[in-house]
Structures are given as C-alpha cells and as structure tokens.
C-alpha cells in the first residue's frame, strides 16, 4: 500500500469515527427547553420546579426558566428569545406579554417550534387570536361563544358545538379514568387505552378555535362531581401550521412540592414526557414504563423520577 493511499484510508476511518461520535453525542444531548412562568392563578412557584424536575430526570431535556415580573408590574422588558429552544413549556396565566414577545412566539410556532400547553396556560390571553389557535381550547377569563365552539366527545366523534355559554369550568377534584381516543399516535402508542388518573381537576366546557389535530385522551365529566356530564377532551395535539403542539389539561398543582398528587401521578408525568419529546422532535423514543397506571390502580412517582427496578441504583 502506498503511503498516500494509507493516509487517505486513515483519514476516512477518522472521519467515520468522528461521525459516529457526533451521532452518539447528539443522541444524548438534552433537548433545550424553556419554561415560561411567573404569573398564574395556580401555584406556579411549585409547578415550574416540578415540571423542570420531571423533564430533566428523564435525561432527555435541559430546562431554562423565563420568569415574568409579578402581576400588574411593567412587562415591557419581558423579552424572550425563543430561537435556542427545541421546546417551550407554557406555565403562564397572566398579564399580556409585550408585543415583541408575542410576535417572536408566533414566529417560533410558525417556523415549526415545539410547544407544551400545560393546565392553566390555556386560560391565558383570551384576546390573543394566535395564542388561542396554539391552545385550540381555552377557558375562563371571559371566554364564551365568541371564543369558538365547545368541543366534546359524543357517539364516537369529536363534536364542535356553537351553542352560547361560558367557556371553562370544573367540578371538585377527584380520581378519574383517562380514555384513549387514538392509540396510534406516537405519544400514546403502547400505553393502555384506559388508565386511572390521580385526584385532579377535570376541565370542562372549554371552548376555542377547536383546531385539535389528534385527540389523545378524554374523560367523563360527571355531574355528580360538579362536572358537565360530557366526555371532555383533556389531552391532544393541535393543528397549527408547522408547529408541534401538545396540550395537556391535567396536572393541577398542589400546595407543595411533596403534596402534589395530580403532578405526582405517573400517568401525568409519562404523558407529559412523551408529549414533550414529540413536540420537540416529532418522535417518541421512550419505552412504556413498568410503573404506568392501569384501569384499576393509580401509580405515583413522589420524587418525579421513574421508579428503577429493584437492585438498580
Ligand atoms: Zn387548576
């Protein structure tokens, strides 16, 4: 072999090794995630830390925060740079963002950004048309028939109902059954069709543009617990241009990090993680964990970590 040829082969080998190394590194590199919070009618001081821990404990995400000034304060400097992020998690329900931030968020979505709408984030910004399209459904803050139809599951299909009335309510917190309405979407592929959710609010009578792409889970809102009597859409993806949007209405935050059953529910955490990965990448690489709840029992991850099999540390 000539010296020259040997150098060429060695160079190819080195290049190959570098490519393999780059692939391994990029596969392990956490997805850059931004949680936006700082105002909420909920306990955001706890929820944003819990969301961060759920996401980071999976090893798939690295989380930054943008925390707004308090309600009623000047938000004109609350400018957000969305460009570094694979994923934006909305845990904000409060005063209007500056127009520049609104415009940047719309651009982030339009360019195919990944977004998670978490619980009361869908209460926010009732007058911001694009935001309401990003959520598909919202509630409270004066929402009514002008916000869009009600959406609920009836006789095997998603009904959009334009009848007048307020948008958004819920009965008392209770345990309820999550029912899959799509078993093929990567977010739910392999998960049981029915699983028991920890005590949580069950949002009902939500309304909005109702541009739901894939309805993943509904739950029956029982009038006995103060609900609507309808089968309510609670977890879904949203049809909004190139954006990948996962909306979960679950996960009402409890009083403390340790006393927080709706967010400690394994079902909430696993669907959040799968929805977040899908929103960020378009794929779900997570296996169905052994501790996932079933139709007959609820499971919890009190420390927001996947329970490891016995003997593994
Ligand atoms: Zn709530």
Neighbours of ion ligand 1 (CB under 5 A): 201, 252
* Closest by Cα among 118, 134, 154, 146 to 229: 154
pTM: 0.91
68-75 long-range Cβ contacts below 8 angstroms, 24+ apart? 68/36, 68/37, 68/38, 68/39, 68/92, 68/94, 68/95, 68/97, 69/38, 70/38, 70/39, 71/39, 71/95
pLDDT tens figures, 231-259: 999 999 999 999 999 999 999 999 999 99
Q: How far is the CA of 10 from the centre of ligand 1 (A)?
A: 60
Mean pLDDT across 171-198: 97
The confidence score (pLDDT) of residue 23 equals 47
Beta-carbon contacts of residue 159 (< 8 Å; ≥ 6 apart)? 150, 151, 152, 153
* pLDDT value at residue 309: 56
Q: How many angstroms does the Cα of residue 46 sit away from the middle of ligand 1?
A: 13
CA of 283 to the centre of ligand 1 (A): 29
Q: How far is the CA of 256 from the centre of ligand 1 (A)?
A: 14
Report how far ligand 1's centroid is from the alpha carbon of 6 (Å).
Answer: 66
- Full domain range(s) for residue 195: 5-307
Mutual angle of helices 266-281 and 44-57, in 10-degree steps: 70
CA of 251 to the centre of ligand 1 (A): 7
User: How far away, in angstroms, is 24 Cα from ligand 1 center?
Assistant: 40
Distance CA 156, CA 90 (A): 30
Ligand 1 geometric centre to CA of 288 (Å): 27
Angle at 140 between CA 137 and CA 144, to 5 degrees: 70
123 CA → ligand 1 middle, Å: 10
Tens digit of each residue's pLDDT (9 = 90 or more) over 105-163: 999 999 999 999 999 999 999 999 999 999 999 999 999 999 999 999 999 999 999 99
Give me the number of domains the chain comprises.
Answer: 1
CATH number at residue 297: 3.40.50.880
Q: How confident is the model at residue 308 (pLDDT cuts 50, 70, 90)?
A: low
Q: What is the whole-number distance in angstroms between the Cα of residue 155 and the centre of ligand 1?
A: 28
Determine the distance separating the centroid of ligand 1 and the alpha carbon of 170, expressed in angstroms: 9
Q: How far is the CA of 252 from the centre of ligand 1 (A)?
A: 4
- How many whole angstroms from 220 Cα to the centroid of ligand 1? 17
* Centroid of ligand 1 to alpha carbon of 44 (angstroms): 11
Determine the distance separating the centroid of ligand 1 and the alpha carbon of 119, expressed in angstroms.
7
In angstroms, what is the span from residue 12 Cα to ligand 1's centroid? 57
Look at residue 313 and tell me if it is in a domain: no
d(CA 291, CA 305): 11
Considering the domain boundaries, does residue 312 fall inside one? Answer: no
pLDDT in tens, 67-102: 999 999 999 999 999 999 999 999 999 999 999 999
Produce one character per residue of 179-193: b if its CB has 16 or more CB atoms within 10 Å, e if not. Answer: bbbbeebbbbeebbe
By three-state DSSP, how is residue 106 classified? helix
Contact status, residue 235 vs residue 178, Cβ threshold 8 Å: yes
Residue 25 pLDDT class (50, 70, 90 cuts): very low
Give me the pLDDT at residue 307, please.
72
Determine the distance separating the centroid of ligand 1 and the alpha carbon of 120, expressed in angstroms. 6
């Amino acid at each position: 072999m000539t010296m020259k040829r040997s150098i060429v082969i060695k160079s190819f080998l080195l290049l190959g090794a570098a490519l393999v190394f780059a692939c391994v590194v990029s596969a392990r590199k956490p997805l850059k995630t931004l949680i936006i919070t700082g105002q909420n009618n909920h306990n955001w001081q706890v929820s944003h830390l819990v969301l961060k821990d759920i996401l980071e404990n999976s090893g798939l995400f690295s989380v930054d925060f943008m925390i707004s000034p308090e309600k009623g304060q000047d938000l004109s400097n609350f400018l957000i740079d969305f460009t570094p992020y694979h994923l934006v998690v909305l845990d904000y329900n409060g005063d209007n963002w500056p127009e520049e931030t609104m415009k940047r968020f719309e651009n982030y979505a339009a360019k195919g950004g990944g977004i998670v709408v978490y619980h009361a984030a869908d209460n926010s910004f009732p007058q911001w048309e694009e935001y309401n399209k990003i959520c598909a459904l919202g509630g409270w803050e004066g929402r009514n028939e002008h916000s869009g139809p009600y959406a609920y599951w009836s006789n095997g299909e998603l009904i959009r109902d334009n009848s007048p009335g307020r948008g958004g309510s819920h009965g008392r917190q209770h345990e309820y059954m999550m029912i899959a309405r799509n078993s093929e979407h990567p977010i739910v592929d392999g998960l049981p069709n029915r699983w028991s959710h920890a005590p949580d609010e069950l949002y009902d009578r939500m309304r909005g543009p109702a541009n739901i792409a894939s309805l993943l889970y509904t739950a029956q809102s029982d009038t006995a617990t103060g609900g609507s009597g309808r089968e309510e859409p609670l977890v879904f993806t949203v049809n909004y241009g190139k954006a990948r949007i996962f909306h979960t209405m679950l996960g009402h935050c409890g009083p403390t990090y340790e006393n927080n059953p709706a967010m400690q529910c394994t079902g909430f955490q696993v669907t959040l993680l799968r929805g977040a990965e899908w929103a960020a990448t378009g794929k779900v690489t997570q296996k169905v964990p052994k501790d996932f709840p079933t139709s007959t029992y609820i499971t919890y991850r009190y420390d927001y970590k996947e329970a490891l099999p016995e003997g593994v540390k």
